[in-house]
Every structure is written in C-alpha cells, then in structure tokens.
Structure 1
Amino acid sequence: MTIQDLALSLDGYAPSPAVIAAEMAIVGAAIQSRSALDEASATVEPADFFRPAHRLIFAAAQAVLAAGLKLEPTAVLEELQKQGELPRVGGGPYLHTLMRHAAWGNIGYHADLVSGDAQRRRVQLACQAGARRTESPAWDPDLDLDHIRKQIDEAAVRRTGEMPSGVADEMVALLEELENPPAVRPGVAPPYRDLQRLIPSLLPGGLYVVGARPSYGKSTVGVDAAREAAIRQGVETVVFTLEMPKKQLLQRITAAESGVQLGSIIEHTVTRAELERITDVGVRICTAPLTIDYAPGCTVERIRATLRSKMRTSPAGLVVVDYLGLMRGPVRAESKQQEIAAITGELKIMAGEFEVPIMLLSQLNRKPEERADRKPQMSDLRDSGAVEQDADVVILIHRDKDPESPRSGEADLIVEKNRNGPTGVVAVASQLHYARFVDMAPNHTAPSGRPNLRAI
C-alpha cells in the first residue's frame, strides 16, 4: 500500500475550506468537459483529492474517457453505478451539486491548490512512517535512513502540469550550444592529458569501471581522479574506500600532491624542506571539496544515503568507489555473480538518479597471468559479465613489473569500452613511490615507434 493510498489515515488532518472548494470546482468541471479533465489530469490524480467522493468521481470520469465514451455527467454516473460506488459518492444529487460548483477557465489554479495539499499530506504521512521505523528493534541506520529520506523525497514531488513536448526546443538549444560552446565543459575531466583525448569528460550519469589485478594501480587511478576533480577543478568529490583506512588514503593524496615519497610520510622520516612542501599542499587539500568515507563492507544503500544527504547542501560531482569486490550486495542474492550484477546495476541507476559520474574500481581475475603478454581483457572483470554490460566506460590497467623491462616505469590504460567515443591505449608514467600516475612527456613514443595514443 502506497503513501497515496493511505493519505486519509492521518489522524486529525483537515484541509482548508479553499482546498475542498477547489476539489469541487475541478471535479464538477471534469465530469462535464474533456478539456477540463485533461487539464486537471496533468497536475492532479485521483489520490490527490482529500474527500473520497471526489477521488471516486474523478477516477470514474477518467475511466469513461479511457473507454472511448463521450464524457458527460450521465456516463460518469453509469460508470460509478457499474463500479458499485454510486452510493458512496452521494448518488446523482451530489453530482448535480458538483456541476453547480464547476470551475471554467481557471482549472490550473484550483489544481495547484489540490496538488499542494496532497503534497503536504504525503509528507506528513512519510514523517509518521519514518518515526515508526525508528522504533523498530531491527533498525538499520544505512538502510532505514535512506528509506526514510527516499520516502520523504518521493512524497514531496508534485506534478507540474507540463505535458511532454516535441524535440524542437531541445534541437534549437543543441544548435546554439554547438555554435557557442559553453566555457565550462560538462562533467569532470579525467586526470591524464592523453586520456582526455579519448574521454574528454566523466559525464553525469555515467558508470566508469577501472579494472586491474591487485597492486597494479587501480586505487592510484581512483585517487588521481579524485585529486584532479576536487583539488584542481573544485568539484565536490566523494570517495568510498572499503579497503584503505582514511588516514592511509590521505597519506597517498599528500604524497601525490607534494612530491614527497609515500614511504617517508608513512615512516615519519620527512626532511624539513619536505615538511614545508607538505604544509603548503595541506592547505589545498583541507580546502578542497573532498569527502572520504571509510566504509568496510559498504552497501549500495549507504552510498545512496550519502549522496541523498549531500544533495541538500553540496551535490556530489564525482563519486569514486574502491572497490567493487568488497561491497555487500542484497541479502537475497543467491550467488556472487548475482550480487555483483545487482550492485553494478544499482550504481548505474544511482549515477543517473543523482546526475553524477561514478568511478568504480574492480579487480580482474587471474586470466591475464595465463597469457604470454599478461595484458588484460574486458572479460577478465571478476565475478560477473554484468560489470562490462552496465559500464559506460571500461579502463584496464597493464604494467610490466619486470625492473629490467624498457617500460618498467610506464603503465598502459587500456580503454576497452567507451560508449561515447573511441577506444584506445594511453601510456602514463608510473610514479608509485609518490602514489600517482602522471602524463608522459609530450614527445614520448612507445618502444615500437608508434604513438602512445592509439585510437582503435
């Protein structure tokens, strides 16, 4: 049973006389005029009316129209009689009363009054339901708080009365945008120059998967993306770290920003000059719009609750989740594959719901180690093919760990899937002693002589 179904269960609630008069004006016109019914239906629905009689009569008028019959009071009366609801609404005499109170020419004004009162009832009921939920011995902060917020947000939604339109306005806007490109590109720029040639922006609503074997640098790419967004671009960024405590993640950010070796920071052996550099970057880090949530066993519900809470003050512009394999999925999942599929599906929906790009880090299975070149493929994403299906972009990391290799200081970011652009391979310099990857020199070429950016 929905909040709308229970709207009359509010103890002691009574709308103002103006709301009741507006209901009568709408229903009185709706049973006589198709245009009045259509205009009212764009803003209100039967559940929005406070009086049960008005709900039933308005729904009956809609049923008459849906059946292809001519809309008139007699047809509505017959529909109510067929449903067995005519006695509940007061019979034919009450329909005559409504007809005398019908509004003509100002349906929108009356519909706004009814819609606003219905919204207030829904919010009150959602708050009451939330209060009851807090009294349950099975209270789960992550799950229940998100449920309460979601119920209140849904209760607060009002129909606008605007009908779907054609594409002309959007097409004109697109042409204007192409002629006069916006000064600021939508989304968040990726952290590496050559990667930006393949993926200019991490776009709102997109799910970006970064996959690698353990210790190949997937967390480093996630941190680089978070640093680029929060510190360089001033974008509100939230990092959900399931494996690395907040202090360790902050040590990595500090090393990457200051150019002080991570080992020195961890072991507290920095020099005076290095400490001064760390102090300088510490100011930038402190003032950056960056939130780190250390949440072992993090659930989709926790991420959604955090983003919903931030929507009210500072909506997130980038979300980084490190990493997929440690997340807890729905209790009902029968296998790890189903659990992973449910998680990635929900994250993709969430990216659209909150209009934010989500970068999801994921481990690869052992298949790359069985290949001669050890290069990963998209099918190596662990536990579920749903990961590659849900992702808008899949980036796989490959490094040659042989210290004698001519490419030992490099890493390849393999853009294996790109829903909005080309795929390709991007080389970056590996500076893991500073906990970062950085751009290659502008004139760098791969050992084969080919450019390090190879669009496929």
Structure 2
Amino acid sequence: MEFSSLEAEAAILGGLILAPSRIPLAAGILLEQDFYYSQNQIVFNALKAVGDKVGDDLCMILVRDYLKKNKLMKQIGGVGYLVKLAESVPSAANFNHYADIVMEKSRHRSILKEVEKFKADTAEADSEEIVIAAQRLADSIHPETSKDVTALKDHLSDAHDAMYNRKDCVYSGFDKLDQIIPGFEGGDIIIIAARPSIGKTSLAISMAVNMVKNHDPVLFFSFEMTKLQLAERIICAEASISPHRAKKGLLHEGEKTKMLGVMNSLYALNWPLYFTDYGINQPEHIRTKIVSEQRIHNIKCVFIDFLQMMRVGEKVQSRNYEIGQIVDFLKITAKKCNIPIILLCQLNRGAESRDDKMPRIGDLRDSGEIEQASDVVCLLHRPGYYDREVGDGAIILVPKQRRGPIGEAYITFEPELARFVN
C-alpha cells in the first residue's frame, strides 16, 4: 500500500491557490506533516502565511513573492511548480475528498512510525511489558483509526451511564440552575451572556470554583483579566474579603491573617483550576491549547471570556459571519475533546430600552449564529444593577436548552466580594 499521494496533495494546494477562502478550513484540519513531500509542506505553509495577511486577495504572485523573500523558491523547484499546482485541478470543488486522502495517508505513516518505535522500545522487554506497551499503542492510535459510522449497540452502555449516572457531566454548583440544566455535557457549547458590568466573569469564576471543588479540572481562558487578577479575585472571594479594599491596602490585621490562611489552604488543596491569559485569541490556537492541557490535566470543562474578543485571523465578509465561524469551530472542538465549552458573550443594548431591563435571547450581540450553534443559552440579569433598592438577587434565564426545558434560576450576587452564591 502506498503511504503518500502526490496527486491528492497537489490537488489540495492547487485548489487553495484557486480558492483562497478555503485556506482557514484547510489550516483547521491539515497539518504541515500531513503532506509527505517537502515541497508541498513549504507551499502549504506559504499559503497559510500569505492567507493570514491578505485573506481572499491571495494570488499566485503573492505566494511567489513570499517564497522568494524567504529563499524557499529553489526548494520547491521554481515558480513552475506553483503553476503546475494551479493547473492540476479545475477548481477546489473536491477539496474534502482530497483532504480525506491526504489525512488517511498521514495517519498510516504516523501509525507505522509508532509501530517502529514500539518495536525498538520493546526489543529487550519481557512478555508482560510487551503486552502493556501494546495496549498503550492500541489506545494511542485507536481514535485516529476508529470509524465515523457506528452501530446503536455500541453506544447502549454509554447512553445508560449518561442518563442515569451523569458521571461525565460537570455541574454549575448553583442548585436551582442545576435543577434546570442537569449537568453540562461533553460536546456542548454553553453561552453565558449579559450586558457589560452585570457580572459575566464573576459568574464564570464562581462556577469554575464550584467545579474544581467537585474535583473537575477546569481550563479558563481570559482575554480581559490577567492570571494574577483572576487569582486575586478567587482568594478574596474564598476569604470573604472585598477585592476592592484589598487592592487599596485597607485590610485590617484580622483580614490579612484570614487571607493568608485561605492562601495556605488553597496551596494545600491544589485545585485543578488552570488559567491562561493567552494573548492569541484565534480559535485554532485555543483548540491547540485545549487539546494540550486536556492531555496533561484531564480537563473536564473550558471557560472562554469572552466571545467578542476572538478573531478568526483573516479578512472575512462580515463580523456576523466571523462570529458564526468561531462558534462553529469551538463546537467542533467541544465534540472532538468531549468536553463542555462555556462561552461568555456580550448582549446588545436591546434590554436597556425595556422597562424591566430583562434580557432576551434575541439580544445576543453580533450574530444569530450564536443562538443556532449553542446547546444551552444562559442570560444573566441583575435587577439591582439598575435599581439599588431591589437588592442583590440575580436571575439566570435559560431560554434555550437543546435537550431540556427552559426556565429561570434565582441566585444571589455579593457585590462586595464579586461572587455569586446559591
């Protein structure tokens, strides 16, 4: 069996030259090493680099200039090779077909490489060690070789566990909300949306803390707050001390002692809560980080704060279209990693014009694609933000739940501590 296809690789690259709008898709599913031939790896990287800068305006001349500037033209065999690629296909219509071929060939090579490593590593091992190593090898390559189409009977046991044990779900820790949403499930996109300053981040942090207290590892992406600021927020909340007073140095000795005790406890508990204020806010990079951290820390839930600060990395036809692309990409990531992704989102000013200021699902900012792609939508409302005499009650409205009822959950906001509680 052949483990490469020069024809398929050329068809992909030629198609991308003819239809540069497909480059983000190609970059999302193909890696440099998926191409067997070195000249094709170089061209693929050049297409991505030029595409990141000019988007759909990419043309062969710009790719040629990039290769010349980086002294790579000779390595691909000259400009004639680019022309040959562009002429290898009439259009990009069969991109998916050729991508499947290239990825399958790449998987074959990867598996063979793992098998050769297995043989070298077990050359002097005893039979028991060989069996253990073989099982590890099988586990590592099985996800890459499993079929997309499976029989119902293959899922009966997992379906039983999902319905009755709920062992793979993570919970918000807010009792009334968990009664409406009986756990966030792997593969789901959960939207938490609100107007600015209502408390999206505080609610997300409160949920994340509840999850790790239940021993569920959490990864938290923050594009607004730094990791230090998030840590300070959690320490103050756990110590029941105002973060504002702490920041201004107004704590008395008793509070300082209490805070030190909480810090020592948190250090000893070593909560599986992992923050990143990763500067790159493109979904491809976020997926890479999620996959890496899940492998290391067995992440069970991901928070992203917040959607409107993300970009796809190239020129797009509209912001609505871009938001739709981002949410769709994150949905694929959630399914691939089998984890829920909780995505914070801003609402538009629609609620401000209503007498009760109550948000609605139609207030989701930038795109109706958010509502369509999400599995659960939670809208956070604090009447006390608009009328201080109302008090500190908060409402989490659930206007959409793909596999469950809609409803309202009432919780309490503690503004001095910037946290939400039951």
Coarse TM-score class (shorter-chain normalised): 0.5 to 0.7
In the other structure, the counterpart of 1:397 is 380
Is 1:434 the counterpart of 2:417? The answer is: yes
Is 1:280 the counterpart of 2:261? The answer is: yes
In the other structure, the counterpart of 2:403 is 420
Paired with 1:188 and 1:304, the residues of 2 have a C-alpha distance of: 20
Is 1:305 the counterpart of 2:302? The answer is: no
Given that 1:186 and 1:203 are in contact with CA atoms closer than 8 Å, whether structure 2 keeps it comes out as yes
**Offset at residue 330 of structure 1 (A):** 3.6
In the other structure, the counterpart of 1:254 is 235
In the other structure, the counterpart of 1:216 is 198
Paired with 2:106 and 2:379, the residues of 1 have a C-alpha distance of: 50
Structure 1 pair 244–120 and aligned structure 2 pair: CA distance change class (3 A):
same
Is 1:166 the counterpart of 2:151? The answer is: yes
Given that 2:395 and 2:408 are in contact with CA atoms closer than 8 Å, whether structure 1 keeps it comes out as yes
Q: Deviations over 1:344-380 (max 9, x none)?
A: 1111111111111111001011111111111111110
Question: Which residue of the other structure, out of 226, 229, 235, is the alignment partner of 1:245?
Answer: 226
3-state SS of the aligned residue for 2:413? strand
What letter matches 1:159 in structure 2? T
Q: Which runs of 5+ in 2 are unaligned?
A: 10-104, 116-138
RMSD (Å), alpha carbons: 3.2
Paired with 1:118 and 1:302, the residues of 2 have a C-alpha distance of: 25
**Offset at residue 219 of structure 1 (A):** 0.7
Q: Which runs of 5+ in 1 are unaligned?
A: 10-113, 125-152, 440-456
3-state SS of the aligned residue for 1:244? coil
Paired with 1:3 and 1:327, the residues of 2 have a C-alpha distance of: 38
In the other structure, the counterpart of 2:276 is 293
Given that 2:198 and 2:385 are in contact with CA atoms closer than 8 Å, whether structure 1 keeps it comes out as no
Count of residue pairs brought into register by the alignment: 300
Given that 2:190 and 2:342 are in contact with CA atoms closer than 8 Å, whether structure 1 keeps it comes out as yes
Is 1:195 the counterpart of 2:180? The answer is: no
Given that 1:362 and 1:381 are in contact with CA atoms closer than 8 Å, whether structure 2 keeps it comes out as yes
Paired with 1:300 and 1:5, the residues of 2 have a C-alpha distance of: 29
What letter matches 2:335 in structure 1? G
In the other structure, the counterpart of 1:367 is 350
What letter matches 2:326 in structure 1? I
**Offset at residue 392 of structure 1 (A):** 0.6
3-state SS of the aligned residue for 1:369? helix
Paired with 1:117 and 1:404, the residues of 2 have a C-alpha distance of: 64
**Offset at residue 393 of structure 1 (A):** 0.6
Residue correspondence of structure 1 range 280-359 to structure 2 within 5 A: 280-286=261-267, 287-296=270-279, 298-359=281-342
Q: Deviations over 1:414-434 (max 9, x none)?
A: 111111211111111110211
Structure 1 pair 172–329 and aligned structure 2 pair: CA distance change class (3 A):
closer
3-state SS of the aligned residue for 1:372? coil
Structure 1 pair 380–290 and aligned structure 2 pair: CA distance change class (3 A):
same
Which is bigger in relative contact order (C-alpha 8 A, separation at least 6)?
2
Given that 1:243 and 1:296 are in contact with CA atoms closer than 8 Å, whether structure 2 keeps it comes out as no
What letter matches 2:220 in structure 1? V
Given that 1:115 and 1:159 are in contact with CA atoms closer than 8 Å, whether structure 2 keeps it comes out as no
Given that 2:4 and 2:106 are in contact with CA atoms closer than 8 Å, whether structure 1 keeps it comes out as no
Given that 2:3 and 2:106 are in contact with CA atoms closer than 8 Å, whether structure 1 keeps it comes out as no
Structure 1 pair 175–369 and aligned structure 2 pair: CA distance change class (3 A):
closer
Given that 2:3 and 2:108 are in contact with CA atoms closer than 8 Å, whether structure 1 keeps it comes out as no
**Offset at residue 229 of structure 1 (A):** 1.4
Paired with 1:370 and 1:235, the residues of 2 have a C-alpha distance of: 40
Larger radius of gyration: 1
Q: Deviations over 1:13-37 (max 9, x none)?
A: xxxxxxxxxxxxxxxxxxxxxxxxx
Is 1:266 the counterpart of 2:247? The answer is: yes
Residue correspondence of structure 1 range 78-93 to structure 2 within 5 A: none
Q: Deviations over 1:100-146 (max 9, x none)?
A: xxxxxxxxxxxxxx99974355779xxxxxxxxxxxxxxxxxxxxxx
Q: Deviations over 1:142-162 (max 9, x none)?
A: xxxxxxxxxxx99996536x8
Given that 1:224 and 1:437 are in contact with CA atoms closer than 8 Å, whether structure 2 keeps it comes out as yes
Paired with 1:313 and 1:417, the residues of 2 have a C-alpha distance of: 33
Paired with 2:181 and 2:325, the residues of 1 have a C-alpha distance of: 26
- TM norm structure 2: 0.64
**Offset at residue 172 of structure 1 (A):** 5.9
- TM norm structure 1: 0.60
Given that 1:368 and 1:377 are in contact with CA atoms closer than 8 Å, whether structure 2 keeps it comes out as yes
Is 1:227 the counterpart of 2:209? The answer is: yes
What letter matches 2:333 in structure 1? M
Paired with 2:108 and 2:406, the residues of 1 have a C-alpha distance of: 52
| Bigger fraction of residues in helix | 2
**Offset at residue 327 of structure 1 (A):** 1.1
